[in-house]
Amino acid sequence: MVTIDWSNFTPVSALLGGLLIGVAAAALLLLNGRILGVSGIAGGLLQPRAGDTGWRLAFIAGLLASPLLLLLSGTMEAPEFASPLWIVGAAGLLVGFGSRMGSGCTSGHGICGLARLSKRSIAATACFMLTGFLIVYLTRHVF
């Protein structure tokens, strides 16, 4: 049986943040004709092609700019990581390898792909949600 943690439920900020994420994905599609998939945009930097690097760097600069501004203005602090560094490193390796192998991550498959009702993205999202739930179950309730 699922127990919902109402004390940490944040529906308003979750919806508002989701709207901004959607607006960003919509704007990149409308203005630039691109799918907003962070692993694809970042991973493309490792296969540089002429004229294809600038927009990727501009996007990543934008990703870094908002948190830096929030931090320096004292609006928000750096979120705390929940795991020791060696786990963080192992997780990063898996996320990098897996997202490139599976051609996408939470943004590209989970938001943009599902929004297009792409069969591949529906399958990919089901797979990463499955192992996400499974690993958290194992690390929190078994080991």
Partner 1 sequence: MKNISVFLIGCCFSLGLCISGLVAPRKVLAFLDLFGAWDPSLILTMAAGLVVAGISYLVTRGRRISALGEPMQIPSNTTIDVRLIVGSLLFGAGWGLAGVCPGPALVNLGFLSTPAAVFVAAMFCGMALFQAFDHWGTTQRPATVDA
CB of 94 to partner 1, least distance (A): 3
CB of 50 to partner 1, least distance (A): 15
CB of 76 to partner 1, least distance (A): 6
- Interface with partner 1 includes 52 (CB under 8 A)? no
Q: What does DSSP assign to residue 46? A: G
Give the gyration radius of the chain's Cα atoms: 17
Q: Which of residues 124-143 bind partner 1 (CB under 8 A)?
A: 124-125, 127-137, 139-141
CA distance 138 to 85: 19
Cα dist. 124→7, 97, 102, 111, 143 in Å? 31, 14, 7, 11, 27
- Interface with partner 1 includes 50 (CB under 8 A)? no
Q: Token pair of 87, please? A: 């786990």
Would you say 34 and 28 are in contact if contact means Cβ atoms under 8 Å apart? yes
- Interface with partner 1 includes 74 (CB under 8 A)? no
Q: Which of residues 2-31 bind partner 1 (CB under 8 A)?
A: 2-5, 8-11, 13-31
| Nearer to partner 1 (CB atom), residue 11 or residue 50 | 11
Would you say 40 and 108 are in contact if contact means Cβ atoms under 8 Å apart? yes
Out of 49, 64, 73, 74, name the contact with partner 1 by CB under 8 A: 64
